[in-house]
Amino acid sequence: MPYDLEERLVIGIASSALFDLAEADVVFRDQGEEAYRAYQEAHLDDTLGKGVAFSFIRRLLSLNDLSTADDDPLVEVIVLSRNDPDTGLRVMRSIQEYGLPITRAIFMQGRSPYRFMPALNMSLFLSANETDVREAVALGLPAGHVLGQAAIDEDDDADLRIAFDFDGVLADDSSEQVYQTDGIEGFRSHETMNAATPHDPGPLRDFLANINRLQQREEEQRGKDPDYKIRVHVALVTARNAPAHERAVRSLKGWGVTVNDAFFLGGIEKSAITSVLRPHIFFDDQVGHLTGTSHSTPSVHVPFGKMNEPSDEPCAPARASGRNPVTSRKRP
SS3 120: helix
Q: Of the candidates 175, 233, 235, 170, which has an alpha carbon nearest to the alpha carbon of residue 206?
A: 170
Amino acid found at 23: E
pLDDT of residue 332 exceeding 70, the answer is no
Indicate the CATH number for domain 160-308: 3.40.50
pLDDT in tens, 257-288: 999 999 999 989 999 999 999 999 999 999 99
DSSP state of 315: P
pLDDT at residue 181 in the model? 86
pLDDT in tens, 69-83: 888 999 999 999 998
Average pLDDT, the chain: 89
Helix (H) and strand (E) counts in the chain: 11, 12
pLDDT of residue 54 exceeding 90, the answer is yes
CATH architecture, range 9-147: 3-Layer(aba) Sandwich (3.40)
pTM for the structure as a whole: 0.90
pLDDT at residue 9 in the model? 97
Mean pLDDT, range 124-133, rounded to an integer: 96
SS3 125: strand
pLDDT at residue 311 in the model? 65
pLDDT in tens, 36-48: 889 999 999 999 9
Query: Per this entry, what is the length of the chain?
Result: 332
Kindly report, as residue ranges, where domains of CATH 3.40.50.1000 are found in the chain: 9-147
